[in-house]
Structure 1
Amino acid sequence: MKMYFSRISQENHTLSEKEIERNALLSDLKKTIKALETAYAGFDNVTEPDLIDCYIYEVNSVLKRYRFLMKQAAALSLLPEEDPRPTPLNTEAPVTSLIG
């Protein structure tokens, strides 16, 4: 049986440290966004006061992680340039927007 190997497979495909860090950061951002969606979905589906408090804390926790990762991405220049127009999204903490 003949086996054919492409020249690409023979080359060394090691990633640089910066590429590894970039990939890890993007992966963490995707996981954090998914966790935030899950926390908001959980909050929307509970009526028990203790569980409402739990989801509020969870949303705040995930948002803090998201902000941290976004700062890291900005430091690595992974984010697109900012649009000079103001964003219409609510940037308050969820507790403030939910209670106040």
Structure 2
Amino acid sequence: MKTFAVLVLFALVSVCLSTGDSKDTVSGNVADSPSNADIFVKRDLASNLMRQKRAGTAPTALTLTQLESLREVCEVNMACEHMAETAGIVAAYTAYYGPIPY
């Protein structure tokens, strides 16, 4: 039984390896392969794209330490503290102090 399992395993491995990325044997080139120009982007363009992505994302999961630091900032302003109790700390901090720094 072990021999049969090993033979099945080797057959499966050989099928997986043979159906991988195959080359066109007639012309010698790979069909549908991207060129290097399609893969790489200039450094300044990549940094601009990443900066835009970071600027547009909303804070999703703040840790308890980060929420506590927002509460401490909001405690100084009574209106912010009241809004934090009713609408939430994230909404109150954003309304009174602008976007969350982290």
Which TM-score bucket, shorter chain as reference? under 0.3
Q: Give the structure-2-normalised TM-score.
A: 0.27
Q: Give the structure-1-normalised TM-score.
A: 0.27
Rg larger in structure: 2
